[in-house]
Each structure stands twice: as C-alpha cells, then as structure tokens.
Amino acid sequence: MQPLYAEGTVLVVAVRSYDRLESGMTAIYRNSRNRLVAHVLMAKARDGWRAGGLNNRSFDPEPVLAGNLVGVVVAAFAPAGIGS
C-alpha cells in the first residue's frame, strides 16, 4: 500500500456499486489467488477497470470486476507515531 498508506495504517472500506466506481478511487478487490489488493482505479476498459499501484509501471494483470470488488477506501488512519 505504500507510498500512499504507511505500514500500520487502518483503512475504512465502504461497499460501492461497481457502476459507481470512478477513476482515482482506491479499490479493494480479490485477485485470482484470492489475495486482497488495494490499488488505484486508472481507466475503465471493456473487460473491467484497470488498476495499479502507485509505484507500478503498468496496470495490474487482472481487471477489477463487479465479481471481485470488495469496496473502496473512504478513510485512512495512521497510528500515532507514524509519519512524525
């Protein structure tokens, strides 16, 4: 999740309809290995949303779909002492 969220940051995730996703949102989704991924939505394509990490040079290999979307990050809280 770095550099956007420091280690130990608590994310608040809200359920969001797939139809209401927008570019720039941080989406939480499950990849084909059933791992949770938190990446920024970059572009909508015919086969789903393209997402990627801020340090990645390319999109994630799998699109974000209605079936693998968990939600979107609506708030983040860093524990005391992080970033100070």
Query: pLDDT tens digits for the chain (84 residues)?
Result: 556 778 888 999 999 999 999 999 999 999 999 999 999 999 999 999 999 988 888 999 999 999 999 999 999 998 777 555
Q: In what order do the strands lie in the sheet with 36-45?
A: 10-14, 69-77, 26-30, 36-45, 48-52
What's the CA gap between 68 and 47, in Å, rounded? 13
pLDDT at 75: 96
pLDDT at 54: 80
Longest dimension (CA), the chain: 43
pLDDT at 49: 98
> What are the tokens at 57?
């040079």
- pTM, to two decimals: 0.85
pLDDT at 32: 95
